[in-house]
Amino acid sequence: MATLRGFALVLWLCTLAACGGALAEGQSQFDRGSYPAAKQTFAAAENESRAWSETKRARFALYRGLTLGALGDQAQAGVWLREAKSIEDGHPGSLTPEEAQRLHLGLESNSD
């Protein structure tokens, strides 16, 4: 019985990890400073992201924009950061307070 419970726990954890998918992977890469890898992860997930919820799309746009900004591509960073802002403005609370602060700082540094 304990083995079955252990297997169920592992299966549940794997399911949770899969739900995060490309967004969680790209965000983790960004947070570690692995910007080229995050850029690739986000680019590969662009088509898939169109079917995501507003919240997930806002986070995707935020971290894709921040990643591009960190790599020096200010023009493309602005496109994605403005997309994240548009979603957050239309659906307040799509971003966590910390993410909203990151967005604000990203937009501020992008306008320089």
| pLDDT classification of 9: cutoffs 50, 70, 90 | very low
CATH number of the CATH domain containing 71:
1.25.40
pLDDT of residue 72: 95
Q: What is the pLDDT of residues 61-101, one digit of tens each?
A: 999 999 999 999 999 999 999 999 999 999 999 999 999 99
Is residue 86 in some structural domain? yes
* Residue 46, φ and ψ in degrees, nearest 5: -55, -50
CA distances from 100 to 22, 59, 103, 104 (A): 20, 10, 5, 6
The identity of residue 104, as a single letter, is H
| Residues sharing a CB contact under 8 Å with residue 44, sequence separation 6 or more, in sequence order | 22
| Residue 57 domain boundaries | 21-110
Q: What is the pLDDT of residues 95-112, one digit of tens each?
A: 999 999 999 999 999 887
- Number of structural domains, the chain? 1
